[in-house]
Amino acid sequence: MNIYKISGRNLEITEALRDYVSSKLDRLDRFNENITEARVVMSTRDSKDTHRRNRIEVQINIPGGIIRAEESNSDMYAAVDRVVDVLERQLRKFKTKLLKRRHETVPADVVPHEEEEFQNPEIVRSKRFEMRPMSPEDAAVQMEALDHDFYVFLNSQTSHVAVVYRRKDGHYGLIEPNV
22-34 confidence digits (pLDDT tens): 999 888 877 767 7
Domains of the chain (ranges; CATH) run 4-110 (3.30.160.100), 133-175 (3.30.505.50)
95-149 confidence digits (pLDDT tens): 777 666 666 555 555 444 444 555 677 888 888 877 889 999 988 888 887 778 8
All residues at 6 or more sequence positions from 93 whose CB lies less than 8 Å from its CB, including other chains: 116, 118
127 near 148, Cβ under 8 Å? no
State yes or no: pLDDT of 73 exceeds 80.
yes
Q: What is the DSSP letter of 117?
A: P
Measured CA to CA, the distance from residue 77 to residue 74 in angstroms comes to: 9
Nearest to 34 by CA among 76, 80, 71, 66: 66
130 membership: H or E segment, kind and range:
none
Question: What is the overall mean pLDDT for the chain?
Answer: 82
Phi, psi of 77 (to 5 degrees): -65, -40
Nearest to 35 by CA among 57, 67, 74: 67
Task: Give pTM, 2 decimals.
Answer: 0.57
pLDDT, position 1:
44
All residues at 6 or more sequence positions from 28 whose CB lies less than 8 Å from its CB, including other chains: 35, 60, 84, 87, 88, 91
Confidence of residue 43 (pLDDT cuts 50, 70, 90): very high
pLDDT, position 129:
78
